[in-house]
Amino acid sequence: MSVKFSPGLEDTIIKQTSLTFIDGINGILRYRGYDIEDLVKNCIFEELIYLMLYGDLPNRQELNEIKEKINKNYQVPEEVIRMIYSLPREANAVGMMESAFGMLASIYDPKWEKTLNRDVAISVIAKTATITANIYRAKEGLKPNNPKIKSTYAETFLSTAFDRNVSEEEISSMNAALILYADHEVPASTTAGLVACSTLSDMYSSITSALAALKGPLHGRAAEDAFNQFVEIGSLNKVEEWFEEKIIKGKNRLMGFGHRVYKTYDPRAKIFKSLAESLSKKNEKANEYFKIANKLEEIGIKHFSEKKIYPNTDFYSGILFYSIGFPVYMFTALFALSRVLGWCSHFIEYVEEQHRLIRPRAIYIGPEKREFKKIDQR
């Protein structure tokens, strides 16, 4: 077998999938054949959970059944909640999620079994809502909250986090964000999780691996960094000057721009932009950030479009999360809340249908054989 060197694994196909289709040239994203635009407009997140895990959109009865299963799984072991509240308030939110999933891996350690895998995934997805909500509460210095079960996953999550009545617009925006971030084929995080589950390590441990990869600024953290650019710019009349200084002269990357696969406008960014625009109208500060982002986008596209670098999903998502009431430090954790669905779906597809231990090779470029010298002769 010939082995090819592929830094960044760019030209490596790691698995086959029936889950997510991306056309990076024409800006198309589909989950199991459905356009992302149709799913965001018409579905609640629970329908997407069913679609990804079972292959088709649910009918009413199937939807009720999966909702019931999710509702039974929101509860998280007491030790995990205690651990979250025992960490310093400055602790990184995704790091806290990693710790929580590390604990769940040690408590549950489930085997991979066709009859159980989807139930484990539902447990992961439900528990992530309670964990993420309580990470927000712990970091804000609030008291732990048991899951406040409402009629949808998005509402349950927001109610558990904020402990207040949440508006229909906040719920529908959260629901849209959950669908938009749910899966994206095999980015670094999904690949990291696949490496772990290819050893048949359990689903919770594989989620921990995926979280570790998501945490980085070139992947999940980009939404925080993109939003921090708008904060740093501060006002609409400073956008051009900032771009000149930071991006052109300073040679920094414009965060929330560029993508390994999309060589055009990311279809998720289009939807996030329109949701962020409408939701931010109710929050003066968020609306200012939206206007700054819009101007920065215009300048960014003018400068980068020749290189096929356009806004990605993380450019506007932060404005939506901020408008709902989340601080910047939660943005990557909110990305993870949604992406656990994609991770679990890919892990199950891989283990059940095409399992093989992932073990690439490296080319040795170190010294030739050397004579060993005992410590006193070195």
Task: List residues near ligand CMC by CB under 6 A.
Answer: 187, 218-220, 222, 253-260, 307, 309, 312-314
Shortest Å, Cβ 41 to ligand CMC: 22
Indicate the burial class of 284 (C-beta count within 10 angstroms; 0-12, 13-18, 19 or more): exposed
The catalytically annotated residue of 183, 259, 266, 346 is 259
| CB 17, min distance to ligand CMC, A | 16
Task: State the nearest-atom distance from the C-beta of 256 to ligand CMC, in Å.
Answer: 5
Instruction: Give 97 or 138: the residue with its C-beta nearer to ligand CMC.
Output: 97
Q: Which C-beta is closer to ligand CMC: that of 62 or that of 185? A: 185
Q: Which residue is nearest to ligand CMC (CB)?
A: 258
Catalytic-labelled residue, pool 184, 266, 314, 346: 314
Looking at beta carbons only, is 20 or 313 nearer to ligand CMC?
313
Reply yes or no on whether 346 is catalytic: no
Q: How far apart are CA 37 and CA 35, in angstroms?
A: 5
* 31 strand-pairing partners: 20, 34
- Closest distance of CB 106 from ligand CMC, Å: 28
Residues belonging to the chain: 378
Helices assigned H by DSSP within the chain: 36-42, 45-54, 60-71, 78-86, 93-108, 117-139, 153-162, 168-180, 188-198, 203-214, 222-233, 239-242, 267-280, 284-304, 314-324, 331-353
Q: What is the dihedral of CA 228, 40, 55, 21, to 10 degrees?
A: -60
Q: CA-to-CA distance for 82 and 252, rounded, in angstroms? A: 40
Decide whether 11 or 90 has the Cβ nearer to ligand CMC: 11
Distance (Å, rounded) from C-alpha 255 to C-alpha 166?
Answer: 30
Sheet holding 28-31, edge to edge: 20-23, 28-31, 34-35
CA atoms of 49 and 139, how far apart (whole Å): 28
Q: In whole angstroms, give the CA distance from residue 321 to residue 286.
A: 10
Our CB check for ligand CMC shows the closer of 137 and 259 to be 259
The least CB distance from residue 303 to ligand CMC, in Å, is 9
Please report where in the chains the tokens 């927000």 appear, as a residue: 136
Beta bridge partners of 20: 31
Minimum distance from residue 125 beta carbon to ligand CMC (Å) = 19
Residue closer to ligand CMC (CB basis): 67 or 215: 215
Show which residues are catalytic.
259, 314
